[in-house]
Amino acid sequence: MALRVLLQPVGWVEDFVVDYVRRGLEEALSLTVHVSSVAISPSLKYFDWSRAQYRADGVLDWLVGELGGLGYDRLLGLCGFDAYAGGLNFVFGLADPSRRAALVFTPRLRAGASHELYELRALKECLHELGHTFYLFHCSNRRCVMSFSNSVLEVDAKMPAYCAECARRLERSGLRVRAVLER
């Protein structure tokens, strides 16, 4: 039986991106992705007014509190707002493997991108953050979707697929990987 993932729009996220991510996740991994038909928004208590950004850890805590009891194997929030974590200026995403939940923040992925490039960036970051929920760490293979990205140029440089080593680790977790990098 395929693992069940809830893809939850958080704030305003374009329908075409949500649909592209859903299809891409199901094509890359042996997952069944359910998309919530209703976008939800976190409380402004997680918003840092001095930075004009949300605190990613607070939003993740909130998402798990709101949806963690629904019985999905993984929660993935696709967020239409900018966020930061720790000492970083921004994050593309954040994951907590112990709670099997992750977030991806779309504004910086959208900036300066065509429709198609924006979709692809969002998919790559969703694959990346889902990988973290299976305890994958950052990969040294710059083409692997699990490589760390500090800029959209680094997101663009990686492929929407896992390297052979990351794929093996995912498969040891019981997840069949369909998108593996060619050598």
Average pLDDT over residues 99-112: 97
Is 183's pLDDT higher than 90? no
pLDDT digits (tens, 9 = 90+) for 41-96: 999 999 999 999 999 999 999 999 999 999 999 999 999 999 999 999 999 999 99
User: If we measure between CA atoms, which residue out of 128, 119, 65, 68 comes closest to residue 93?
Assistant: 128
Report yes or no: 18 and 7 within 8 Å, Cβ to Cβ.
Answer: yes
Report how far residue 32's alpha carbon sits from residue 44's, in angstroms, rounded to the nearest whole number: 32
Is 1's pLDDT higher than 70? no
- List strand residue ranges (DSSP E) for 31-119, in order: 31-35, 47-48, 53-55, 74-79, 83-84, 93-96, 101-105
Residue 164 is predicted with a pLDDT of: 96
- The contacts of residue 70 (CB under 8 Å, 6+ apart) are 6
C-alpha distances in Å from residue 34, one per residue of 118, 167, 170, 176: 21, 23, 20, 18
Active-site annotation holds for 182: no
Q: Which domains does the chain carry?
A: 3-135 (3.40.390.10)
Residue 182 is predicted with a pLDDT of: 81
Residue 174 CB-half CA count within 13 A: 5
Q: In the structure, what pLDDT confidence band is assigned to residue 179 with cuts at 50, 70 and 90? A: confident
Among 27, 116, 119, 129, the one annotated catalytic: 129
Helix (H) or strand (E) holding 150: none
Report how far residue 181's alpha carbon sits from residue 178's, in angstroms, rounded to the nearest whole number: 10
Helix, strand, or coil here: 2?
coil
Report the 3 state secondary structure along 95-123.
EEHHHCEEEEECHHHHCCCCHHHHHHHHH
